[in-house]
Amino acid sequence: MKQASSVVTLNGANRWNERRRTFASTILAAIFLAGIAACSWLLGSSGLSVQLENRNLAPSMTHLFGTDWLGRDMLSRTVKGLALSIKVGLLGAACSVVIAATMGLMAATLGRTVDRMISWLIDVCMSVPHLVMLILIAFVCGGGLKGIAIGIMLTHWPSLARIIRAEAMQLMAAEYVLVARKLGSSRLKVAIRHLAPHLLPQLLVGFLVLFPHAVLHEAAITFLGLGMSPHQPAIGIILSESMRYLSTGMWWLAVFPGLGLLLTVRAFDKLGNHLRQLVDPRHTHL
């Protein structure tokens, strides 16, 4: 379907091509991100305080997303929760990209033994389910936001590392790299000067695809009640709390934060996919 829609149709009407779609989704995602950041900053923390006289209010003009059973403003909580998820997501994705790039380049440049070791490490990490690894790491790091962030940083790199490694391996066989090696460039120089610039687009796509993944995992782990105090605004915590009140008809506790999470994830997932199509139409999955 995707390929078909990007083809220019017979009657000459120029349908949206991949480039435009990517551009549009970049703008949308950027606006969304800026919106969350601005809201989070503007709203301050006053909405998070308990106001028992305003509890269980349905959405209205004063409380756009309604209030919870302690009178806390759900708009504030949702935005703060999303901001936290995004922060953790950005941090986790960025770290994963750095780790993946380092691992991939090392595997390609440092010889067979190192390559084998790194491939083995990647296989091991990929054989354990993400969430289980995440929980283990978060637990070992003493829980809390720090534990979750470290866990996400350390669990998302293997799939990207594998791709970077394969790509770097290919580049190592390219003539200009061979020439550089013959001319006496060190492995480090080859990796940084000749390989890394070529891998940049892959890394960017990797970052954008890993980001929603990391956000979802942050939500999942807080949903399970790991790490943070249950009154702190994190999307997972808010969603798990709302379960209790859904049966009493307070739908707004789950719907708005849930939609917020969905939007965040979808926006960046789409952007990542478009960008990947653009950068590297040959590879279809990461």
Partner 1 sequence: MKKIGLTIISVLAILLIVNGCSAAKPTTGTTKADSLIVAIGAEPDTGFDPTKGWGRYGSPLFQSTLLKRDDDLKIEGDLAKSYEVSEDGLTWTVQLRGDVVFSDGKPLTSEDVKFTFDTSASNGSAIDLTNLASVTAGENEVRFQLKKPQSTFVYFLITTGIVPKHAYSSSYAEQPIGSGPFTFVQWDRGQQLIVEANEHYYGKKPSFHKLTFLFLNEDAAFAAAKAGSVDVAYIPSAFSGQEVAGMRLEAVKTVDNRGIAFPYVKAGGKTDKGYAIGNDVTADKAIRLAINTVINREQLVEGVLEGYGSPAYTANDGLPWWNEDTKLEDHDTDAALRILKDGGWSDNDNDGVVEKDGLKAEFTLLYPAGDVTRQSLALAAAEMVKDAGIRINVEGKSWDELEKLMHANAILLGWGSHDPLEMYNLYSSDFGGVDYYNTGYYNNPAVDKWFEQALEARTEEESIEYWKKAQWDGKTGLSVKGDAPWAWLVNIDHLYLVKDGLDIGKQRIQPHGHGWPVTDNIESWGWK
Q: Which of 87, 94, 220, 258 binds partner 1 (CB under 8 A)?
A: 258
Closest separation between CB of residue 32 and partner 1, Å?
16
Which region, judged by CB under 8 A, interacts with partner 1, from 37-45, 68-76, 196-204, 215-223?
Answer: 68-76
**Per-residue x/- track, 22-61, partner 1 (CB under 8 A):** ---------------------------xxxxx-x------
| DSSP label at residue 53 | G
Among positions 206-245, residues that touch partner 1 (CB under 8 A) are 225, 229-231, 241, 243-245
Residue in the block written with tokens 């149709």: 9
| Residue 248 lies near partner 1 (rule: CB under 8 A) | yes
Ranges assigned E (strand) in 73-192: none
Angle between helices 74-109 and 252-279 (to 10 degrees): 30
| Residue 186 lies near partner 1 (rule: CB under 8 A) | no
Among positions 71-100, residues that touch partner 1 (CB under 8 A) are 71
What lies within 8 Å, CB to CB, of 226 at 6+ separation is: 135, 138, 139, 143, 147, 148
CA angle 221, 226, 228 (to 5 degrees): 105
Closest separation between CB of residue 111 and partner 1, Å?
42
Which region, judged by CB under 8 A, interacts with partner 1, from 100-108, 116-124, 173-181, 259-267?
Answer: 259-267
Q: Which of 172, 255, 278, 286 binds partner 1 (CB under 8 A)?
A: 255
Report helix, strand or coil for 67: strand
What lies within 8 Å, CB to CB, of 145 at 6+ separation is: 84, 88, 227, 228
Output the furthest CA–CA distance in the chain (Å, rounded). Answer: 77
Binding site residues, partner 1, CB under 8 A? 1, 49-53, 55, 69-71, 225, 229-231, 241, 243-249, 251, 254-255, 258-259, 262, 266
